[in-house]
Amino acid sequence: MNIVVCMKQVPDTTEVKIDPVTGTLIREGIPSIINPDDKGGLEAALALKDELGAKVTVLSMGPPQADLALREALAMGADEAVLLSDRAFGGADTWATSTTIAAALRKLGFDLIVCGRQAIDGDTAQVGPQIAEHLGLPHVSYVSELEATEGAVTVKRVFEDGYQRIKVKLPCLLTALKDMNKPRYMSVAGIFDAYKREVKVWGLADIEVDQDNIGLKGSPTRVKKSFTKGVKSAGKVYEVDAKEGARIIVEALKEKYVI
Amino acid sequence: MNISDYKGVMVFAEQRRGTVQKIAYELLGVGRRIADTLEEPLLALLVGHGLPDSAAAELIAQGADTVVVVDDPALEVYMTEPYAKAMTAAIERYKPGIVFTGATTIGRDLAPRVSARVRTGLTADCTGLEIEDGTRNLLMTRPAFGGNIMATIVCPEHRPQMSTVRPGVMRRLERDDSRKGSVEKLAVKIEAKDKNVEILEVVVEKAAKKNIEEANVLISGGRGLGNLDNFNKLQGVADELGGLVSASRAVVDAGWVGQDRQVGQTGKTVRPDVYFACGISGMIQHVAGMEDSDFIVAINKNSAAPIFEYADVGIVADINKVVPALVEELKAAKAAR
Amino acid sequence: MDFLIDKEHALLQTMLRDFAEAEVKPLAKEVDESERFPTETVAKMARFGMLGMPFPKELGGAGGDNLGYIMAVEAMSKVCGTTGVILSAHTSLCAAPIYEFGTPEQKAKYLPPLARGEKLGAFGLTEPNAGTDAAGQQTTAELKGDHYLLNGSKLFITNAGYADVYIIFAMTDKSKGTKGISAFIVEKEMPGFSIGKKEEKMGIRGSSTCELIFENVKVPVGNLLGAEGKGFGIAMKTLDGGRIGIAAQALGLAQGAIDETVAYVKERRQFGKTIGQFQNTQFQLADMQAKTDAARLLVYRAACCKDAKLPYSVEAATAKLFASETAMEVTTKAVQLHGGYGYTREYPVERMMRDAKITEIYEGTSEVQRMVISANMLK
């Protein structure tokens, strides 16, 4: 089975802080990581490889620095890595991003495509289903369990109020939840090999795609502005012992007619 | 594409097992406001099979001018492709300028598929929706970068302007049975090949676990509690106030409680009447999920914890000492009444 | 000269940090308090190739190097001193001498299972009357045709009982003094080999430290490591490598204590401000970090010398002397900055302080390191 895992390198947004004075985002020193849902998808693919002997290719679109995320995937056990990187791809929204990645997937070939549900920097959950639409494939999102059967996969698809068990014939696309597994660590041997192996870098010339459909130009949406949220005016803070604290809380709740 | 051909606001009235979901009414709430601003109609798209007439009537009472019903046996249980086909057909037939879908596990699956099909933009998880003066474009505001920044997105040259809207953010209208509206059926041919996945099993999980998004009072615990035992003691406070216990991401990661109780950017957005932050430092990711609560009580031993910036009442003390004292005070307050 | 960490090692550090935080740190307190050998951690380290880091892939290793291995000991020790020494004793004191001094047959037989972590290794040199004066070996090995008959005992042996393969030193010719010492590869299952009393220790309490007892143990001639009479040289060279491992353990303990302290002083408030806002705290922290960084450069230098196949005996001694004394000083200061809490088991710094002490003692005391360093200066 030929599995392609689509992954994004993201800033670890849990480490992001707002400058208390200027109110702006402090971007320096924030580590870049493989997006957690994507890493769950990679682990699921590697587990299928361990079980059935699949070939796992990792595909990422991003700046040259995204190379690091692909090296990590190689050190975890992926067989091949492709980085889609070109200025022409820049500024893309999810529509243009999914168009670009779909073109790369057509060139790569696949039986199963695994994406993460969503990336922690954008949280859109759109690119996976949109890739499937561009490729005319069935997709299942919010996958928390995956097993391969003959020519198909059977997955658990999670909803807020339950789940479905779904069988999908290959080829298809799945979007994975990070909770579906615990991703393996890179192996030491894999790490010492990671930079001896090739990460293919594909630019605009390497894929067949209409230039009107990619990058900023191909994006239906635009960011009009971005801003940090204003901080709500502070209430009262009391440095008191526990008993006095409890009394203050209860008084406040009485004032709010909660009790 | 001639943008001026596209008029009106369409909301996807998500139903599960024949019950229209709360998010549908929230979408009608914001949809009504936008439609009125534009002086255009508000449509509700109701997709399913054998839905009772009362469902459409309720959508009208809660703001819809027209309810478009797509009924087919293949639409009884949510499946991506048949639903995508139904929604695409409705967009092609009614040409709405704006389409809202709930940012639920169904809406976030369906909307991207449809947006790619009709070649338009989609903005996810919107928390603010306004019409721009002059251009009459939809301004879609959403948290990004893990809730650290807000971004306003526009989709100027494609229609419809699509967005998914976070549940719990928009206010629904007062329901009004005297409101008039029409119901139209839209025939969509769902073929066998459209059922491109096989649903082997549908499991509805017991509603015994009440949803933290619905709670009026939330007692939320964080890493500062130290251990599972201390975390479990929050239930005592919740019992006294008729609330639910929720948690920060750290607590969920530690396995003290399930992810369905997680408040924050990667968990749920809540806006209860009272929110207790117990031993929660107030990282921005957590705050993003609870800052709209009406009244926030924070208890933390670190007076520099950012949570105090959001609190209406802050207590700098050891949470594990405050919890038993609070339970006692609440009992006493009840007894005195 | 290059002080920068290359891409492979940077990637490795990410993995080691994630592994240590998620797999090792949560057990550290319990392992210490209940004096429990963390077998599950050893199995996990094995799974990801951490028990054979500096050895070639053909011999079951990860194809890495000594710098990478040292980083692993540092990363584990940062959160758990016990785990650090288990890794160090296994790699430096058992697998390394087999790799460096073993015959092709010995390497083929013993190294792959050790490097893959299917088997754990240990090293036995110290005896009741032969500590720093290692030449005073009382254990004997008498050649009897196709085997040696091993008799005697060893003391303070790390990984004892849990290890499957032991490098054991014994007198093959008492008349020759140090030149009569030979090294042997001894297997746990060999009849007559038993584990004696387990030590109760101040620190690194999860590591198993026991006496080894040999009663007429038949060790095949093929298990003689190096030539007869070359054992003392093997022991000293092995300890040169081991010292880099212990220096890395000390380095990890120091950095771990600093990290805990930084988090604590940002939280703890006295006199209306965090204690991190007091200049005394700030200056103490600066001194702690500066010394620890200096120790890191010495430790990495020693590992790089070994990787470059340059002499590293003095570099290893320097690294161990400075890193272990830094660890003791830094962990003591960390406890002090934690105040009364630092003295309790609620915070990990007291454990780190207890763990740090041994790094000044084993695999050559600080005094021995001073001898090695000064002897090189005055030669």
Span B155-183, mean pLDDT? Answer: 91
What are the beta bridge partners of residue C148?
A: C143, C219
pLDDT at C274 over 90: no
Tokens of A69: 């995320």
At residue B292, the pLDDT reads 80
Residues B154 and B10 grouped into a single domain: yes
Asked whether A156 and A192 are in contact (CB, 8 A), the reply is no
Between CA B11 and CA C315 the distance in angstroms is 72
In a domain? residue B105: yes
Residues B241 and B332 grouped into a single domain: yes
Position A196 confidence tier, pLDDT thresholds 50, 70, 90: very high
Contacts of C244 (CB under 8 A, 6+ apart): C66, C70, C92, C299, C302, C303, C306, C312, C316, C319, C320
Any A CB within 8 A of B297 CB: yes
Q: How many CA atoms lie within 13 A of B221 on its CB side?
A: 31
Position A88 confidence tier, pLDDT thresholds 50, 70, 90: very high
pLDDT at A232 over 90: no
Asked whether A59 and A6 are in contact (CB, 8 A), the reply is yes
Q: Are strands C181-187 and C224-225 parallel, antiparallel or unpaired?
A: antiparallel
Longest C-alpha distance within chain A, in Å?
70
Of C279 and B167, which is predicted with more confidence?
C279
Residues B179 and B305 grouped into a single domain: no
Between CA B265 and CA C260 the distance in angstroms is 28
| Structural domain ending residue among the three candidates B194, B220, B238 | B194
Partner residue opposite A164 with nearest CB, options B81, B151, B202: B202
Any B CB within 8 A of A22 CB: no
Residues B33 and B175 grouped into a single domain: yes
pLDDT at C16 over 80: yes
| ipTM of the complex in this document | 0.92
How many structural domains compose chain A? Answer: 1
**Closest of C371, C119, C67 to residue C247, by C-alpha:** C67
Span A191-206, mean pLDDT? Answer: 97
Helix-then-strand count for chain A, H and E: 6, 15
Residues B108 and B177 grouped into a single domain: yes
| Structural domain ending residue among the three candidates B194, B221, B243 | B194
At residue C99, the pLDDT reads 98
Residue A15 CB neighbours (<10 A): 13
Say yes or no for a CB contact (<8 Å) between C62 and A187. Answer: yes
At residue A123, the pLDDT reads 87
What would the pLDDT profile of B72-89 be if each residue is shown by its tens digit?
Answer: 999 999 999 999 999 999
pLDDT at A26 over 80: no
In a domain? residue B205: no
Residues B165 and B221 grouped into a single domain: no
pLDDT at B147 over 70: no
Between CA B100 and CA C272 the distance in angstroms is 51
Residues B155 and B254 grouped into a single domain: no
The percent of residues above 70 in pLDDT, for chain C, comes to 100
pLDDT at A231 over 70: no
What would the pLDDT profile of C119-171 be if each residue is shown by its tens digit?
Answer: 999 999 999 888 888 888 999 999 999 999 999 999 999 999 999 999 999 99
Tokens of B335: 């007894």
Asked whether A249 and B313 are in contact (CB, 8 A), the reply is yes
Between CA A110 and CA A114 the distance in angstroms is 10
Q: C215, C260, C363, C367: which one is catalytic? A: C363
pLDDT at B208 over 60: no
Position A230 confidence tier, pLDDT thresholds 50, 70, 90: low
In a domain? residue B114: yes
Residues B175 and B218 grouped into a single domain: no
**Which residue spans within chain B are E strands per DSSP?**
9-12, 15-16, 19-20, 42-48, 66-71, 98-102, 122-126, 128-131, 138-144, 149-154, 161-165, 182-185, 198-204, 217-221, 244-247, 274-278, 295-300, 313-316
Asked whether B32 and B173 are in contact (CB, 8 A), the reply is yes
Residues B249 and B167 grouped into a single domain: no
Dihedral angle at the C-alpha atoms of C137, C139, C145, C147, nearest 10 degrees? -110
DSSP type of residue C363: T
**Closest of A171, A167, A176, A64 to residue A127, by C-alpha:** A176
Q: What DSSP assignment string belongs to A220-235?
A: S-EEEEEEPPPPPPP-
In a domain? residue B206: no
In a domain? residue A197: yes
Asked whether A134 and A32 are in contact (CB, 8 A), the reply is no
Of C270 and B229, which is predicted with more confidence?
B229
Computed from CA positions of residues C182, C188, C190, C192, in that sequence, does the dihedral angle turn out positive or negative?
A: positive
Residues B170 and B226 grouped into a single domain: no
Q: Would you tell me which residues 91-130 of chain A have a C-beta closer than 8 angstroms to some C-beta of chain B? A: 93-95, 98, 120-130
Between CA C344 and CA C351 the distance in angstroms is 9
In a domain? residue B204: no
At C344, give phi and psi (nearest 5°): -95, 165
SS3 assignment, position B129: strand
Position B119 confidence tier, pLDDT thresholds 50, 70, 90: very high
At residue A254, the pLDDT reads 81
Residue B157 CB neighbours (<10 A): 13
Span A240-250, mean pLDDT? Answer: 93
In a domain? residue B84: yes
Position C269 confidence tier, pLDDT thresholds 50, 70, 90: confident
Position A258 confidence tier, pLDDT thresholds 50, 70, 90: low
In a domain? residue A242: no
The percent of residues above 90 in pLDDT, for chain B, comes to 73
pLDDT at B244 over 70: yes
Span B101-126, mean pLDDT? Answer: 97
The percent of residues above 70 in pLDDT, for chain B, comes to 98
| Structural domain ending residue among the three candidates B168, B194, B220 | B194
Between CA B71 and CA B53 the distance in angstroms is 12
Domain that holds residue B99: 3-194
Residues of chain A contacting C62 with CB distance shorter than 8 Å:
187-189, 192
DSSP type of residue B73: G
Tokens of A140: 């299942």
Buried b (16+ CB within 10 A) or exposed e, C67-82: bbbbbbbbbbbbbbbb
What would the pLDDT profile of B172-207 be if each residue is shown by its tens digit?
Answer: 898 899 999 999 999 999 999 999 999 999 999 864
In a domain? residue A235: no
C363 is annotated as an active-site residue: yes
Say yes or no for a CB contact (<8 Å) between B154 and A237. Answer: no
Mutation target for A interface from B80, B141, B321: give the one with most A CBs within 10 A. Answer: B80
At residue A21, the pLDDT reads 67
Secondary structure element (H or E) that encloses residue C158, with its range:
strand C147-158
Residues of chain A contacting C72 with CB distance shorter than 8 Å:
188
Q: Which chains sit next to C, with 3 or more Cβ pairs under 8 A?
A: A, B
In a domain? residue A57: yes
Span A143-153, mean pLDDT? Answer: 94
Between CA A83 and CA A94 the distance in angstroms is 17
Angle B279-C30-B323 (CA atoms, 0-180°, nearest 5)? 20
Q: What DSSP assignment string belongs to B88-125?
A: HHHHHHH--SEEEEESSTTHHHHHHHHHHHHT--EEEE
Of B174 and A108, which is predicted with more confidence?
A108
Residues of chain A contacting C57 with CB distance shorter than 8 Å:
189
Domain that holds residue A75: 2-213
At residue A20, the pLDDT reads 62
Dihedral angle at the C-alpha atoms of C44, C49, C50, C54, nearest 10 degrees? 170
How many structural domains compose chain B? Answer: 2
Mutation target for A interface from B23, B148, B278, B328: give the one with most A CBs within 10 A. Answer: B148
Distance to chain B for A192, nearest Cα, Å: 31
Q: Which of A2-16, A81-95, C135-149, C227-241 shows the lowest per-residue confidence on average (mean pLDDT)?
A: A2-16
Distance to chain B for A20, nearest Cα, Å: 10
SS3 assignment, position A84: strand
Residue B126: closest C-alpha in chain A: A124
Q: What DSSP assignment string belongs to A18-45?
A: E-TTT--EE-TTPPEEE-HHHHHHHHHH
What would the pLDDT profile of B21-39 be if each residue is shown by its tens digit?
Answer: 999 999 999 999 999 999 9
Of B101 and A256, which is predicted with more confidence?
B101
pLDDT at C319 over 90: yes
Residues B126 and B243 grouped into a single domain: no
**Ordered alpha helix ranges (H), C116-161:** none
Average pLDDT of chain C is 96
Any B CB within 8 A of C153 CB: no
Contacts of C10 (CB under 8 A, 6+ apart): none
What would the pLDDT profile of C76-126 be if each residue is shown by its tens digit?
Answer: 999 999 999 999 999 999 999 999 999 999 999 999 999 999 999 999 999
In a domain? residue A195: yes
Please give the single-letter amino acid code of residue A26. I
pLDDT at A255 over 90: no
Any A CB within 8 A of B195 CB: no
Residues B181 and B245 grouped into a single domain: no
Position A202 confidence tier, pLDDT thresholds 50, 70, 90: very high
Distance to chain A for C376, nearest Cα, Å: 35
Residue with tokens 């991401």: B249
In a domain? residue B34: yes
Sheet holding B313-316, edge to edge: A236-238, B313-316, B295-300, B274-278, B217-221, B244-247
Asked whether A212 and A220 are in contact (CB, 8 A), the reply is no
CATH of the domain at B114: 3.40.50.620
In a domain? residue A143: yes
pLDDT at B168 over 80: no
CATH of the domain at A24: 3.40.50.620
Asked whether B255 and B114 are in contact (CB, 8 A), the reply is no
Span C359-369, mean pLDDT? Answer: 96
Span C291-320, mean pLDDT? Answer: 98
Dihedral angle at the C-alpha atoms of C160, C164, C170, C172, nearest 10 degrees? 170
At A240, give phi and psi (nearest 5°): -135, 175
In a domain? residue A250: no
Say yes or no for a CB contact (<8 Å) between B143 and A242. Answer: no
In a domain? residue A158: yes
Between CA C80 and CA C87 the distance in angstroms is 11
pLDDT at B209 over 90: no
**Closest of C224, C85, C109 to residue C162, by C-alpha:** C85
Contacts of C23 (CB under 8 A, 6+ apart): C41, C44
